[in-house]
């Protein structure tokens, strides 16, 4: 009886029945993880491209709309800085304004109507976007003429999309629930500020 058991154990250990099923399951799991990773990379590329398109659309609208920092809308360098009409407004004479949905830096007042119109335009390109993901910056770098019709400054206008989270299907297998999408920005010159209505 013991000999019979011993022979059966040897036969079982030498048997290769079912080895293909085990190998297939190991390779199948690895293939599934790789396939999910490829899909995730494609989805992440889509998210980044959508965020870039939204930033570009926001910047294009921001440079022809009234500034969301209301101090820039009617900025008069002749009365504020005492410059003669027709002279260049020097760099550093006007503070930079960084505006989010909660307000603007340097004591700036937020024009929520214009800000929300820019966010609405951006959502056409990236539907997951919220007002909290958008930052609009105005940086004066010496462009503009005192006594000009409209704002005397032509700031660089930067629209940034930030704080987005990407949910990866393949990394969830390893317990990673989300990744932060890198911020994207677009900068244009605000030489036509206030030329059109932001509600277009």
Phi, psi of 176 (to 5 degrees): -90, 115
Beta bridge partners of 181: 164
Q: Give the global pTM.
A: 0.78
pLDDT of the residue at 15: 63
pLDDT of the residue at 199: 47
For the chain, list residues with pLDDT below 70: 1-3, 9-19, 195-200
pLDDT of the residue at 181: 82
Q: Where are the strands (E) in the chain, listed by range?
A: 97-100, 103-104, 134-139, 156-161, 164-166, 179-181, 184-189
- 2-29 pLDDT, tens digit per residue, is 567 777 766 666 666 666 777 777 888 8
Query: Looking at the domain assignment, is residue 197 inside a domain?
Result: no
pLDDT of the residue at 3: 60
| DSSP alpha helix (H) spans, 15-153 | 19-62, 77-81, 112-123
pLDDT of the residue at 190: 87
pLDDT of the residue at 111: 95
Query: Looking at the domain assignment, is residue 11 inside a domain?
Result: yes
CB count, 10 Å around CB of 61? Answer: 22
Query: Looking at the domain assignment, is residue 169 inside a domain?
Result: yes
pLDDT of the residue at 17: 63
Query: Looking at the domain assignment, is residue 198 inside a domain?
Result: no
pLDDT of the residue at 39: 82
| Tally of domains within the chain | 1
Q: Which domain holds residue 40?
A: 2-189
């Amino acid at each position: 009886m013991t000999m019979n058991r011993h022979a059966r154990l040897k036969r079982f250990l030498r048997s290769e029945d079912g080895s293909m099923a085990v190998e297939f399951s190991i390779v199948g799991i690895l293939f599934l993880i790789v396939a999910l990773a490829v899909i995730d990379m494609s989805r992440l590329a889509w998210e980044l491209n959508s965020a870039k398109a939204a930033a570009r659309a926001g910047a294009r609208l921001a440079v022809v709309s009234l500034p969301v920092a209301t101090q820039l809308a009617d900025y008069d360098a002749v009365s504020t800085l005492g410059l003669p009409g027709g002279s260049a407004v020097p760099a550093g004479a006007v503070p930079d304004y960084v505006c989010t949905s909660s307000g603007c830096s340097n004591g700036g007042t937020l024009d929520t109507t214009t800000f929300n119109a820019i966010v609405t335009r951006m959502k056409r390109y990236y539907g997951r976007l919220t007002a909290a993901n958008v930052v609009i910056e105005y940086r004066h770098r010496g462009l503009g003429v005192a006594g000009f019709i409209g704002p005397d400054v032509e700031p660089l206008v930067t629209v940034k999309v930030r704080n987005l989270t990407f949910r990866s299907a393949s990394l969830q297998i390893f317990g990673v629930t989300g990744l932060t999408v890198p911020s994207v920005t677009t900068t244009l010159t605000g030489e036509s500020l206030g030329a059109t209505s932001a509600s277009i």
